Chain A
Amino acid sequence: GAGVSQSPRYKVTKRGQDVALRCDPISGHVSLYWYRQALGQGPEFLTYFNYEAQQDKSGLPNDRFSAERPEGSISTLTIQRTEQRDSAMYRCASSPSMAGELFFGEGSRLTVL
């Protein structure tokens, strides 16, 4: 597809399990961003990459959260030992340049029981 693709679209997991969320950016886009959006709120920055380099991870809530983009294309956001408070919509966005418009994906909705 032409847009940012995220999978899974929906994930329900039990507390304590690890989850991995995948983002496939628009082909050729240099920058990739992860945001988290709680219900009724705007997206909240988590981390971003230029190519394969993680530039800023100041928005990751704690060390249970990590992200990688090993080949400068697909990215994975991993949450270890999930907690109920991790439940949210996780949105990925990509940009054609380091100073360009962000194109958001449809998101992965995570529910932790």
Chain B
Amino acid sequence: GQQLNQSPQSMFIQEGEDVSMNCTSSSIFNTWLWYKQDPGEGPVLLIALYKAGELTSNGRLTAQFGITRKDSFLNISASIPSDVGIYFCAGENNAGGTSYGKLTFGQGTILTVHP
């Protein structure tokens, strides 16, 4: 099946630093998504990318959909303590108008921010 490789597995940073994480796939996806999961909660969507090459921002978050459609990255600028959590990338193949919401997730990046 499809596999997503997410890196790094974990990051320990100081408050105020910028963060970058990425995701690569052996297969093409036509949608890339980034989620954040807090302890005891379900994943929450941060950014969705629908077009190869697309660069999208949401506040301090910026994500890009790779040209090859096999990779994506997420940047967080000027990190704050509440950025702590697990970040997941996810890919979706919804060609032909089917399989919306059938996501393949990466293994996650655990982010720790020291005040």
Chain A residues with CB under 8 Å of chain B are 4, 31, 33, 40-45, 48, 55-56, 59, 91, 93, 95, 98-107
Contact = CB atoms under 8 A, between A and B. Distances in A.
Contacts of A42: 4, 6, 88, 90, 105-108
Q: Chain B: interface residue count, which band? A: 20 to 34
B40 interface: yes
A40 B41 contact: no
A48 B98 CA distance: 11
Chain B interface SS verdict (over half): loop
Given A41-B108, A42-B90, A4 B42 contact: yes
A44 to B, nearest CB: 7
**Interface core residue of B44, B94, B98, B102 (most chain A CB under 10 Å):** B102
Interface string B29-46: 000000000001111110
A43 B100 contact: no
Given A31-B100, A91-B43, A102-B103, 6 more contacts: A42-B106, A42-B107, A43-B103, A93-B42, A99-B94, A104-B43
B45 A43 contact: no
Interface string B66-98: 000000000000000000000010100010011
A56 B45 contact: no
